[in-house]
Amino acid sequence: MAEFVKIATTADIPPGKVNVYEVDGRQIAVCNVDGTFYAIDDVCTHDGGSLDQGELEGDQIECPRHGARFDVKTGRPLTLPAVMPVKSYPVQVNGDAIEVSVE
């Protein structure tokens, strides 16, 4: 069974925003898409850049370095130059607590 870790509250991440948290040594970008939270590795699979500095538009995040776009729901790459997905993680909200499982 997956173990969930509280990393933030819903008030910490407004709609359309991304915050990064360290969980078990990993930098996890938590994205608020219209009140639903998604978690992905905060690293572009094209060149290792940080995704949280990019634009979150709907359910897509764009790497600020070369413009690769990823689906924050699945981690799937949507545009070149990225061809490999970013890892996505299960998220649950309990009350106002955002919890992520990185197992």
| 34-56 mean pLDDT | 94
> Quick one: CATH architecture of 10-90?
3-layer Sandwich (2.102)
**What global pTM score does this model have?**
0.94
pLDDT bin (cut points 50, 70, 90) of residue 65 is: confident
Instruction: Write 88-97 long-range contacts (CB < 8 A, 24+).
Output: 88/38, 88/39, 88/40, 89/28, 89/39, 89/40, 90/2, 90/4, 90/39, 91/30, 91/37, 91/38, 91/39, 92/4, 93/10, 93/37, 96/9, 96/10, 96/11, 97/6, 97/8, 97/9, 97/10
Residue 34 banded pLDDT, cuts 50, 70, 90 = very high
Side-chain half-sphere of 14: how many Cα atoms within 13 Å?
0
